Structure 1
Amino acid sequence: MFRNVSLIMRWIFAGCLCLPANAQQTGPALNQLRTQFKNPPDSYKPGVYWYFMDGNLTADGVKKDLHAMKEAGISHVIFLEVNVGVPRGKIDFLSDQWLALFKVIEQEATLLGIDITLGIGPGWAGSGGPWVKPGQSMQHLVYSSVELDATAKGSVTLPVPAPVKPFFGEEALTPRLKQERDSFYRDVAVLAFPSPAENTSIDDIYNKALYYRAPFSSANNVKPYYAPEAIISSSSAKPGIPKASIIDLTKQLRKNGTLAWKPKTGKWTVMRFGVRNNGAVTRPAPLPGLGFEADKFDSTALQDHLDHYTGKILKTIEWKHQKKKGGLENLHIDSWEMGAQNWTENFRTAFIKKRGYDPLPFYPVYAGKIVVNNAISERFLWDLRKTAQELVLEQHAGFVKSYAHRNGLGLSIEPYDMNPAGDLELGSVADIPMCEFWSRGYGFNTQFSCIEATSIAHVQGKARVAAEAFTAQNNEAWKQYPGSLKNQGDWAFATGINRFFYHTFQSQILPDTLKPGMTMGPYGIHWDRNQTWWPMVRAYHQYVARCSYLLQQGNAVADILYLTPEEAPFVFEAPVSALSGDSLLRDRKGYNFDACPPTLIEKAVVKNGKICFPGGAAYELLVLPDYPAMSPRLLQKIMLLVKDGATVIGPPPVTAPGLSGYPVSETRVKKMTAALWGPLLQATDMATRKYGKGNIIWGSILKQQMDHLYCSYDILAGILKARGINENFGSDQPLRYTQRSLPGATIFFVSNTKDQAFTAECHFRASGKKAELWNPVNGTFRLINPVKQQQQISLSLSFAPWQSYFIIFTDAAAKEIPGTVATAIVQHRDTLKGSWNVSFDPKWGGPSQITFNQLSDWKLNSNEGIKYYSGTAVYRKTFDAPSMPGKNSNIYLDLGTVQQLASIKLNGHDLGVLWTAPWSVDISKWLRKKNNQLEISVANLWVNRLIGDQQFPDDGVINGNWPAWLLDQKPRTGKRYTFTTFNPYKKDDPLISSGLLGPVTLVWSK
């Protein structure tokens, strides 16, 4: 497998030389780091999305699930019940029987020390249910209009405004919900104005007025924010309806819809405004949980929803707010997938309180009509969205957080996708910010959400950044396994994520003989106890836990802080110039960065020229967005930061957003920009201006080099280098990194981004007299010799394909560690020749005993029981050791190529699981001169057996119904070995490589 033999031993020694217990330490803190890195506490172990399918729950199934998780090294679950592609079960959602089973879940999880995070509603995407009445649901301000002529005779009836078509379509509504939605209507206002001569309208009004907000991650051409150019200059704006000409006729509307008013002269437009349900329903909810989404602007409606859902659960489990290990720990708001709303019963009152003026005359703007002019109308729309954001933060996310805290729980939030607020603003409410990333090649690209969540955590000094990890759809079909996730998982770690929740662990209620069993239709990677490789997965989870543990220590180190504009909705897209790698896995360049929303910058202070936050984050540069509007309050904060010593780069705003205080607010902004930027307002070339103790940097030439609202990374890197600040990390090979700092130590995570081996020259921005390499695959340590070069430390490191390390720098004096062996070059390699005895499991169609004269791929075998086999096969061989190496040498067993995981036993001793390169294990302690008994268990994937079974008639789920033999608990009728609720394969689909392919060799040196 590896042609560069000298590298093999370097990888092996890098990973397998342990520090003895009596080794010199740098202090108690580092000693504790070593101990817990080797065996991380449960709180650092990964989690899963634990999905239940519409009533398919059993006490036996949930207990087996939880015990399988515990055994595999999983310590957290997010509990959600949905309805995707599986026949309904017998336990109705929220019934007494269901609640009793949830109590079993909570008790068993507490017993096992597994923490539960509870989604705040049925389905995966929101907070609602059949108990939510239309008046408590998400709402739109809707409208109808008629044109009246002064010469017309008779009374006029104003049409009842129709509801806006639901974003996910009418088919999402059951007949009951459609009837309730159609029958719900309340009048809000009637306005009249002289009909304009020209019928001009505002572009993209359905989005700007928050009738629709398509999912940014999966829909085409969704804007990360709405361009504000139209608010810049009122002088060139398109004229509209004069505000003074708009009259309020609300009191003239009779109950039967007729209007007790007529114009005296000319033609008038009369608009009737009312409130309608927005059509958002719980999705994809279990049938008894299907209902409207609760109003996201009204905490009273939300409280009523929580009483019906979480309140019932808390009462059932006799929740006592006690601190304990395991059981219910958090509530969870998942990705925002319920569309937008722009109204609530008290919206006008809230708007007046927050914005300082009455929105009533601007209601025609909801319909795209221009009031005063398009600049003024766009300012109103900005205020509308800003008010919506504040209500979401206060009445929804903030209220759920206070509710959770009152009950002794935390709150995690995935603050993205159809969010009407700024992503970073919503995420900042969470105790644990979360994001989502899809398995590479099996879904959407949501990297943006990962940078958003990690930024929120870093700026706030929060230790945990969680992720809905490796989400997949359609063609994933059991193809993912620990080794295939290694590269993307390391990308996530380098991005700043430090807790994985695998999507999905599908709860398994079927008999253990029916595998792969339950699925979530085509969604999610299959990360559950029915996987072929599940008995071996603990080793991989231990790797993830070790990485998660170290990456939750101290604070992330970054120099660049991007300030997001005061805009809602707003998705932060990192400048492409600040990233490297392919479009699906973007890594940070040498200078790390975060993003910060306006509400958090309020908490910043300047210390020693750095922009610092209460949680410990500190940045060298604050980068302003190329966004023309900024509130006087935010601009005043930026001026204060610069005055106190900060360095800020970016363009000056030219106005204030919104209509609050306008036009005085615009005058204040212009005055402040003149004071801060001064001559730079007219500067062409990039220049620096001193202001107080700090600096402002700008020049109109930088406008030509903007990248996603911000100055090009190269410009920022040049500024940092000129100030004598080196990159966080650099290398002559394609490595990714992240850096964290804690008292007395600096931690770097570095990872090979390629499926090839190499030696890399690495440069770290760190101080310290001692450097150690910690291997997260096996929890071992070794000293390495740092070479100081101009405020950086240089190291030569060798990497196997996809391999990763932690490099720890400390200030303690470097001392030799007893037992350390210098890196050696391979001098001997011996291939284990001859035949192998191999045992397959007959229950899955394989031969119980067969001889392989040579190692080969199962898919190429003429025996169909092997060709289509899925599961574990055991390879056995007896061998004599070669001429034994010296006492100070170690001998290793290298498996060569393995598809896909392997566990090893030698002479009855369990040597662990190999799931990633290098595929080697130290066998020195257990090797005998003669008659060594080697046993290698290899697990492949479900793919081949699922393909092979398509040769036989389907005796499984047909037309959404369980088979009769299963319901009647009778013997199975068909010839298939597998049983699953979703099989996308055809009998002629290509098989995948499987088994131990080798060569299997002994490797040692003198």
Structure 2
Amino acid sequence: MSIANAQISKLKEQFIHPPNSAKPGVYWYFMDGNMSERSITADLEAMKKAGIGNFIFLEVNVGIPRGPVDFLSEEWQRMFAHAVKEAKRLGIEMTLGIGPGWTGSGGPWVPVKQSMQHLVSSSVNIMGGKKQLIILPIPLPKKPYFGEGAFTPELKKQWNDFYEDVAVLAYPTPSATGQKIADVDEKALFYRAPYSSVRGVKQYLPTTAEYVEPPKNTVVDRSKIIDLTGKLQPDGTLNWVAPKGNWTIMRFGRRNNGAITRPAPVPGLGFEADKFDTGALNAHLDNYVGKLMRKAGIPDSKDEGGLKRLHIDSWEMGAQNWTPHFREEFKKRRGYDPLPYYPVYAGNIVESNEVSERFLWDLRQTAQELVLEYHAQQVKTYAHRYGLQLSIEPYDMNPTADLELGNIADMPMCEFWSKGWGFNSSFSCIESTSIGHINGKSLIPAEAFTAQDDVWKQYPGSMKNQGDWAFATGINRFVYHTFQNQFLADSLRPGATMGPYGVHWDRNQTWWPMVGSYHEYISRCQYILQQGRTVADLLYLTPEGSPHVFRPPSSAMDGDVFMPDRKGYNFDGCAPSQLYKASVQNGMLVFPGGASYRLLVLPAIKTMTPALLRKITSLVYDGAVVVGEPPLKSPGLSGYPLCDEQVSTLAKTLWGTLQEPGQQTIHEYGKGKVIFWGDLDKKIDDLYPEYELTAQLLKSIGVEPDFTSNGTLRYTHRTTNDADIYFVANRTGVSVETTATFRSIKGNPQLWDAVTGEIRQLPEYGINGQLTTVPLKLEAYESCFIVFTKDGVSNPSDHKNLAVSTIIKTLDGPWQVSFDPKWGGPKSIRFDQLVDWTLRAEDGIRHYSGTATYYKDFDMPVKPGKMNKSIYLHLGEVNQMARVKVNGKDMGVVWTAPWRVDISNAALKKHNKLEIEVVNLWANRLIGDANFPDDGVVNEHWPDWLIQGKPRTSHRYTFSTYNYYKKDSPLIKSGLVGPVTIQESNY
């Protein structure tokens, strides 16, 4: 067997039986001291049995009364060590968040002096020329972004009391009142609101080459600013006699920014550690991560399970703009002293609007570099010291550019919310997949299906379409949010929740015993999508500076805003720091990780640093094709004004002109060229040209779309040395028959079905140049992999791509159905016809939640021995999952279209026994139980019967820590509706 065939054989083998590395994971949440070794082991064993291969360990405080095991106490640490030991035993990978709560890095061990800080100020105006008592008030802290309600009294006192002086500056008061700098609290990094959940948050802070300047008599004269820091007395008085005239005196000091761990267990509440200071971070890490590793033992890389990585979750602790060494770091990085520009923090214009805005750009750039180097990179260094990796979700309140922060990660992550149950963070998926693709990362996980008020309504079938969207985006590991630690007795179901948050992905779900089949589908998809590298043609460069959220032009996306699909030319976003690693090979932009692109598209920003412009110039000289306009200036004050002259000279060299010619222009430089102006200048989406314009450029150089169909299919494309792999999914709820075109001639097409593990040839196809056309038929939300490889059989004449199916028997008439009396259903009852349970008269069936088994005997119409075709049992409509057994043999679980199982190997005979276990959702039983007295959690206290171990008297069957349903809430369709048919099918 050739090496290529051996690799394809391995690919097929592990597609059918995926390795642990391909399995999905969960966010495993513990709730403020509610835990036990029993519940830890039970949860982990349930994960293992269901096909969960990894988890993120976090403890929070959301919606559940406090438990008996105080966070980070000796008992808590012992239970953490037990979780590590059990994860090792079961071969499950563990990731540890780097602090209490679901975000950030802090805790009660962080002294306020080592917390996140702001440079705040107060000012007084005096008339000079005489000796006088000058008292400078202590500057007030900025209000915490999330308010003061989360503070404990002790934390609030520390927040109020902490203050240290930084500087005192005086300057002649401008003779006329001037305008303040617009949005200075945002520009000076006092606040950064959550981009995903607060309307109006800026995607980026634009820079410009032209500024509207106020009159000179309204701005601060930089040359006349006096440093009076040494004249400030401890009591706040100033030992200074001001010269004649009106003077403004500003007192600057550092204060805590109000960020605390959230939503942390009560014993874990504390300040967030300084994100600009490695010493503060290391002290925090040693107090948390280090303490836990000393208890659980240093991880062994040879173990399949156990602690494998640290994790920085979505950035939700806001911004900071100061640290004690900020001035020195600023000087080192920007080349000038920021002291005279401190008044700009408060919105005052120093020298000019342009100079002040350029200083603010430098301030944010310095802050970004400190976060990247002294926080994220240092967490990575700390992790590597112990043989661990680092995963990062680089988005939301991130005061840096998202792509820059994510670029630090060993494993970039993102998050997507369940459509209809929360916020839209799909942009974060495009960001993290872009980072991963450029850096050649094989794993790009997502915090998957986060939800609010999902209340047990979702299940694998309902999540299929959005999950396939995520795969097409480039995500290749789902980490479901959330598996709530089920610390209550097993009889109390659905049990503990994380308040209203999360899709309920835990062992107390009604359908958990059947979820393994869905996880098998997910694992097969994830395994294949972790192979090779992604194929993309367009690379969108993001602007320099921060904060920045990368968003491609909306015209490059198809579908709705919640699940936007890429079009026929795939793309990625690129941070400036990543571009410095690029080179050019055969006219393509190539990165060390293996990613390559045909066009580099620049953002419509009129500023660029000389260093970045020099890099782009060298890429074009070596053969790159660049689309975009020339910059006119540098964005900051570093090297000003010489930096602007450098930019102008470089831009003239590369573009040939700085004058807008009015029509699309191509300027060749070295082996490459730049394409600019004309229609490319019309940017509806602010930063990038319309997608169709760049698509036309690609076609003009002979590059066809990577994938086309009739518009109902989504795709992604990965390539290896031996195969082209396309993931294709029907994004509609109806059957689709189409001819799809793939940009591959690497071999004969095969269809790999991740639901069943079946691999078959697609003998009907045509080749035209570099394109292969393939007829396809996909059922509602059905997906498959189309794999082009040399190991297939070429055009077998007796087979077709599309199956021909014939109904040979309909299983109508009565069914015997068995419910579980423990959940209120009848032990056995006759259904004269298949019907939705909620339409039955019996209350125990209408409000039933759980599994019911349908029984029926059936005769085969012909002898199976004479059949050459596959025999399928089609279930028709199922609400919501089903397991099929024929003649006592388990034929598998049905959870998605085409809602069938292959029963060809079921030892079929004349008389056959059929069992169909059907499971629905928790909602109907919870609604039914709302007719009985509420005996659950009240005012964050457990009920007496639970605490005292007494029997319940409410007559409720269910128990949950979160109540949502009422007795008149609408019931959810349940059970087997059919029709159930036996069909024969062949290709």
Q: Under TM normalisation by the shorter chain, which class is it?
A: over 0.9
Residue in structure 2 matched with residue 633 of structure 1 by the alignment = 611
Aligned counterpart in structure 2 of residue 70 of structure 1, from 48, 67, 70: 48
Aligned counterpart in structure 2 of residue 53 of structure 1, from 24, 31, 36: 31
Output the CA distance in 2 between the equivalents of 1:798 and 1:405: 48
Aligned counterpart in structure 2 of residue 678 of structure 1, from 646, 652, 656: 656
Residue in structure 2 matched with residue 984 of structure 1 by the alignment = 964
Aligned counterpart in structure 1 of residue 927 of structure 2, from 947, 966, 971: 947
Instruction: Judge conservation of contact 1:656–1:666 (CA < 8 Å) in 2.
Output: yes
Question: What is the CA distance between 1:767 and its match in structure 2?
Answer: 1.4
Does 1:495 pair with 2:462?
Answer: no
Unaligned runs of 5+ in 2: none
- 1:619-663 CA-to-partner distances (Å, cap 9, x unmatched) read 000000001110000000000000000000001111001100011
Question: What is the CA distance between 1:898 and its match in structure 2?
Answer: 0.1
Question: What is the CA distance between 1:746 and its match in structure 2?
Answer: 0.5
AA in 2 matched with 1:740:
R
Matched ranges for 1:855-870 at <5 A: 855-870=834-849
Residue in structure 1 matched with residue 291 of structure 2 by the alignment = 312
Matched ranges for 1:185-334 at <5 A: 185-196=163-174, 197-229=176-208, 240-334=219-313
TM-score (norm 2): 0.98
824 and 612 in structure 1: CA distance in 2 versus 1, 3 angstrom threshold: closer
Secondary structure in 2 matching 1:865: helix
Residue in structure 2 matched with residue 572 of structure 1 by the alignment = 550
Output the CA distance in 1 between the equivalents of 2:468 and 2:560: 15
813 and 286 in structure 1: CA distance in 2 versus 1, 3 angstrom threshold: closer
Aligned counterpart in structure 1 of residue 100 of structure 2, from 122, 130, 152: 122
Residue in structure 2 matched with residue 998 of structure 1 by the alignment = 978
- 1:497-545 CA-to-partner distances (Å, cap 9, x unmatched) read 0000000000001111000000000000100000000000000001011
Residue in structure 2 matched with residue 81 of structure 1 by the alignment = 59
Aligned counterpart in structure 2 of residue 830 of structure 1, from 805, 809, 823: 809
Residue in structure 2 matched with residue 933 of structure 1 by the alignment = 913
Instruction: Judge conservation of contact 1:239–1:374 (CA < 8 Å) in 2.
Output: no
Question: What is the CA distance between 1:172 and its match in structure 2?
Answer: 1.7
- 1:551-578 CA-to-partner distances (Å, cap 9, x unmatched) read 0101100000000111100000111010
AA in 1 matched with 2:553:
P
Aligned counterpart in structure 2 of residue 845 of structure 1, from 815, 824, 828: 824
- 1:116-136 CA-to-partner distances (Å, cap 9, x unmatched) read 000000000100000101100
Secondary structure in 2 matching 1:255: coil
Aligned counterpart in structure 2 of residue 974 of structure 1, from 947, 950, 954: 954
Question: What is the CA distance between 1:811 and its match in structure 2?
Answer: 3.6
Does 1:161 pair with 2:139?
Answer: yes
Does 1:724 pair with 2:694?
Answer: no
Residue in structure 2 matched with residue 15 of structure 1 by the alignment = none
Question: What is the CA distance between 1:687 and its match in structure 2?
Answer: 1.8
Residue in structure 2 matched with residue 479 of structure 1 by the alignment = 457
Secondary structure in 1 matching 2:983: strand
Output the CA distance in 1 between the equivalents of 2:808 and 2:341: 81
480 and 639 in structure 1: CA distance in 2 versus 1, 3 angstrom threshold: same
Q: Which stretch has the larger CA shift, 143-152 or 765-774?
A: 143-152
AA in 1 matched with 2:291:
K
Residue in structure 1 matched with residue 440 of structure 2 by the alignment = 461
Residue in structure 1 matched with residue 941 of structure 2 by the alignment = 961
707 and 953 in structure 1: CA distance in 2 versus 1, 3 angstrom threshold: same
Question: What is the CA distance between 1:411 and its match in structure 2?
Answer: 0.2
Size of the aligned set, in residue pairs, is 983
Q: Which stretch has the larger CA shift, 139-148 or 926-935?
A: 926-935
192 and 264 in structure 1: CA distance in 2 versus 1, 3 angstrom threshold: same
Question: What is the CA distance between 1:814 and its match in structure 2?
Answer: 3.4
715 and 823 in structure 1: CA distance in 2 versus 1, 3 angstrom threshold: closer
Question: What is the CA distance between 1:230 and its match in structure 2?
Answer: 6.7
Instruction: Judge conservation of contact 1:846–1:866 (CA < 8 Å) in 2.
Output: yes
Question: What is the CA distance between 1:822 and its match in structure 2?
Answer: 7.2
Matched ranges for 1:771-790 at <5 A: 771-785=749-763, 786-790=765-769
Question: What is the CA distance between 1:234 and its match in structure 2?
Answer: 7.1
- 1:873-898 CA-to-partner distances (Å, cap 9, x unmatched) read 00000111113463312221100000
AA in 2 matched with 1:931:
H
320 and 218 in structure 1: CA distance in 2 versus 1, 3 angstrom threshold: closer
Secondary structure in 1 matching 2:857: strand
Matched ranges for 1:653-692 at <5 A: 653-679=631-657, 681-692=659-670
Secondary structure in 2 matching 1:171: coil
Residue in structure 2 matched with residue 587 of structure 1 by the alignment = 565
Instruction: Judge conservation of contact 1:587–1:736 (CA < 8 Å) in 2.
Output: yes
Instruction: Judge conservation of contact 1:231–1:657 (CA < 8 Å) in 2.
Output: no
- 1:50-98 CA-to-partner distances (Å, cap 9, x unmatched) read 0000000100000000000000000100000000000000000000000
Question: What is the CA distance between 1:26 and its match in structure 2?
Answer: 5.6
AA in 1 matched with 2:908:
R
Instruction: Judge conservation of contact 2:870–2:904 (CA < 8 Å) in 1.
Output: yes
Does 1:146 pair with 2:120?
Answer: no
Output the CA distance in 1 between the equivalents of 2:761 and 2:22: 25
Residue in structure 2 matched with residue 602 of structure 1 by the alignment = 580
Output the CA distance in 2 between the equivalents of 1:566 and 1:872: 56
Instruction: Judge conservation of contact 2:558–2:566 (CA < 8 Å) in 1.
Output: yes
- 1:262-294 CA-to-partner distances (Å, cap 9, x unmatched) read 322111000000000000000000000000000
Residue in structure 2 matched with residue 754 of structure 1 by the alignment = 732
Residue in structure 1 matched with residue 9 of structure 2 by the alignment = 31
Output the CA distance in 1 between the equivalents of 2:870 and 2:731: 29
Question: What is the CA distance between 1:819 and its match in structure 2?
Answer: 11
Does 1:360 pair with 2:339?
Answer: yes
Does 1:412 pair with 2:391?
Answer: yes
949 and 845 in structure 1: CA distance in 2 versus 1, 3 angstrom threshold: same
Does 1:922 pair with 2:902?
Answer: yes
Instruction: Judge conservation of contact 1:494–1:587 (CA < 8 Å) in 2.
Output: yes
Secondary structure in 2 matching 1:707: coil
Secondary structure in 2 matching 1:193: strand
Secondary structure in 1 matching 2:805: coil
Secondary structure in 2 matching 1:705: coil
Output the CA distance in 2 between the equivalents of 1:670 and 1:65: 62
Residue in structure 2 matched with residue 371 of structure 1 by the alignment = 350
Secondary structure in 1 matching 2:89: helix
Question: What is the CA distance between 1:834 and its match in structure 2?
Answer: 1.3
Aligned counterpart in structure 2 of residue 809 of structure 1, from 788, 800, 803: 788
Output the CA distance in 1 between the equivalents of 2:962 and 2:207: 47
Matched ranges for 1:170-185 at <5 A: 170-185=148-163
Instruction: Judge conservation of contact 2:177–2:218 (CA < 8 Å) in 1.
Output: no
Question: What is the CA distance between 1:964 and its match in structure 2?
Answer: 1.1
- 1:857-885 CA-to-partner distances (Å, cap 9, x unmatched) read 01111100000000000000011111346
Output the CA distance in 2 between the equivalents of 1:351 and 1:174: 34
Does 1:871 pair with 2:850?
Answer: yes
Output the CA distance in 2 between the equivalents of 1:535 and 1:275: 55
Output the CA distance in 1 between the equivalents of 2:543 and 2:803: 55
Residue in structure 2 matched with residue 5 of structure 1 by the alignment = none
Question: What is the CA distance between 1:929 and its match in structure 2?
Answer: 3.2
Instruction: Judge conservation of contact 2:682–2:689 (CA < 8 Å) in 1.
Output: no
237 and 575 in structure 1: CA distance in 2 versus 1, 3 angstrom threshold: farther
Instruction: Judge conservation of contact 1:80–1:124 (CA < 8 Å) in 2.
Output: yes
AA in 2 matched with 1:114:
I
Residue in structure 1 matched with residue 529 of structure 2 by the alignment = 551
Residue identity (%): 56
What RMSD over aligned residues (CA atoms) do the two structures have, in Å?
1.7
Question: What is the CA distance between 1:733 and its match in structure 2?
Answer: 3.9
Aligned counterpart in structure 1 of residue 425 of structure 2, from 406, 431, 446: 446
Aligned counterpart in structure 2 of residue 394 of structure 1, from 368, 373, 380: 373
Output the CA distance in 1 between the equivalents of 2:716 and 2:676: 29
Output the CA distance in 2 between the equivalents of 1:299 and 1:817: 64
Instruction: Judge conservation of contact 1:764–1:793 (CA < 8 Å) in 2.
Output: yes
Question: What is the CA distance between 1:821 and its match in structure 2?
Answer: 8.0
Output the CA distance in 2 between the equivalents of 1:358 and 1:234: 23
